[in-house]
Amino acid sequence: MVLPDNFALEFTPYWTKNHGLSLDEYLYPKSGFDQFIRNSSISVASTQSFQLGDSSSSSAIGLGYRTAFYFGNKNDREKVFQYKKQLDAERLIMANIVSGGLSVILQGDSTNNQIFFNKMREVVVKTIYEYGNFGGIDEAEIFADKAFKAAESLPSIDTTESLTFLNAFANLVEKQLDGAQLFEEFKTYIRQRDGWTVDVAYASFLNFPSNNFNFSVLPKQSVWITPSYRFTGDRWGFLKLMGVLRFEFYNLDYYKKYFPDDLIYKTNIDFGAAVATEFKMFSLQVEAVGRSSHSELSAGVDENGNELYTKEKDFDFQYIGTFGCNLSDGIVISYSLGNRFDPIQEAQNTLVSLLSLNFGFGSPTKKDLDLAK
């Protein structure tokens, strides 16, 4: 058996298929178990270059799991309602325009673009006035003027392929409505919803110190909880507060054997807080975390044969600032600077200075959510 070298993957099992959820079902699960399942993600990483204390390379597999629980509030409900109202209006507009366009085509006399446009104008103006977010008929007329001006770029209508022309015209009207932009804004809000969120995660790694897959050790395990709160309103809506409580457990027998020169504590407890600000293109986060380390070591036996132990303790502190720039919806470049914990294992320094580029994909689309429900 050979492990892939420097491989990493994270995926959410629930979203590997379309569940046909309505928007309300997606945003407001009926139970905590629904949130648990839908937000669960599993990560796997592998390497052939995990170095032991004697600098020899070994194979290792990293395993991780996380999920999140969201607790909404009144402000969140109101924002979601407004977004949904606008998306519903866009859906009704497009349905009426397509329906009206089919009626025009079935009349059979739309032999050129101008005839089609002349007959469609009343349909567009009436639909925009009734369902669009416009102040009056005059604004609906202005919208129609812009839409038909843009439609002049469409190729000549082909009476044998009139439905193709109608779809192109409908897509152009949808673009004028900024429907895609509205949905992207809604997606951005869903990622940054007001109120409380609690993330729960677990991570560990499996080491094969002799590169023999019949012998493996679990050197370390971590469990942590991260509550966060995003403020509401235009004044403080950009601000997010986070806390962290993390427990790390080390296999001392493993580290004594394979890292004899490193001082390893059996248990680390991390606790701290962070403040984050997020804008359209930029984000900034500052965190401060303390670490309390404990070990209980064997110190022999007493005269009655009872095993004796000594306790070792330590405390450490780290602070890190991270600046991020959103190059696009799925691409983020970030830079971190600060002072981190003294390394658990021997390293050259404890200064953080890291530039990273992250790619994301696979978020729900309009097709994944039934907005008509």
pLDDT at 363 over 90: no
**Residue 134 in this model has a pLDDT that exceeds 80:** no
Helix-helix angle 113-131:137-151, to 10 degrees = 150
Q: What is the dihedral of CA 144, 149, 151, 155, to 10 degrees?
A: 160
What mean pLDDT value characterizes the chain? 82
pLDDT for 348: 47
**Which of 32, 29, 9 shows the shortest CA–CA distance to 19?**
29
CA 143 to chain centre: 35
The strand order across the sheet containing 282-301 reads 7-11, 41-51, 57-71, 195-208, 217-230, 239-250, 267-278, 282-301, 307-328, 331-339, 351-359
Strand partners, 358: 332
Residue 364 confidence (pLDDT): 55
For 109-118, 224-233, 315-324, 326-335, which range has the lowest pLDDT when averaged over its residues?
A: 326-335
Least confident of 68-72, 106-110, 211-215, 344-348: 344-348
DSSP for residue 63: E
Number of H helices, E strands in the chain: 9, 13
Name the helix (H) or strand (E) containing 102.
helix 74-106
pLDDT of residue 176: 82
Task: Classify strands 282-301 and 267-278 as parallel, antiparallel or unpaired.
Answer: antiparallel
Q: Could you report the per-residue pLDDT of 57-98, keeping only the tens digit for each?
A: 999 999 999 999 998 778 888 888 888 888 888 888 888 888
In this predicted model, what pLDDT tens digit does every residue of 196-231 receive, in sequence order? Answer: 899 999 999 999 998 888 899 999 999 999 999 988
* Domain regions of the chain by residue span: 1-49, 79-184
Give the sign of the dihedral formed by CA 83, CA 86, CA 88, CA 94. Answer: negative
Nearest to 297 by CA among 262, 254, 266: 266
Task: Report the distance separating Cα 291 and Cα 277, nearest Å.
Answer: 25
pLDDT digits (tens, 9 = 90+) for 228-253: 998 876 677 778 899 999 999 999 89
Quick check: 45 and 61 in contact, CB under 8 A?
Answer: yes
pLDDT of residue 304: 62
Q: Which residues contact 314 (CB under 8 A, 6 or more apart)?
A: 265, 292, 293
Confidence class of residue 325 from pLDDT cuts 50, 70 and 90?
confident
As a whole number, mean pLDDT of residues 343-363 equals 52
What are the C-alpha distances in Å from 335 to residues 29, 239, 278, 283, 323? 35, 19, 15, 11, 5
- Give the pLDDT band (50/70/90) at residue 347: very low
What one-character DSSP code corresponds to residue 342?
P
Express as a percent the part of the chain with pLDDT over 90: 24
Which of 58-62, 104-108, 143-147, 221-225 shows the lowest mean pLDDT across its residues?
104-108
Helix (H) or strand (E) holding 202: strand 195-208
User: What's the average model confidence in pLDDT over 254-279?
Assistant: 89
Predicted confidence at residue 193, as pLDDT, reads: 80
- Cβ neighbors of 147 (< 8 A, separation 6 or more) are 124, 172, 173, 176
What is the structure's pLDDT at 74? Answer: 81
Q: Which of 129, 135, 128, 130 is nearest to 177 (CA)?
A: 128
Residue 30 has what pLDDT? Answer: 84
**53, 258 in Cβ contact below 8 A?**
yes
- Give the span between the Cα atoms of 241 and 232, in whole angstroms: 12
CA–CA separation, 66 and 224 (whole Å):
9
- Check residue 298 and give its pLDDT: 63
Identify the DSSP state of 189.
Answer: H
CB 268 within 8 A of CB 293: yes
Q: Is 283 helix (H, G, I), strand (E, B) or coil?
A: strand
Q: How far apart are CA 284 and CA 103, in angstroms?
A: 53
Could you give the dihedral angle defined by the CA atoms of residues 186, 189, 190 and 191, in that order, rounded to the nearest 10 degrees? Answer: 130
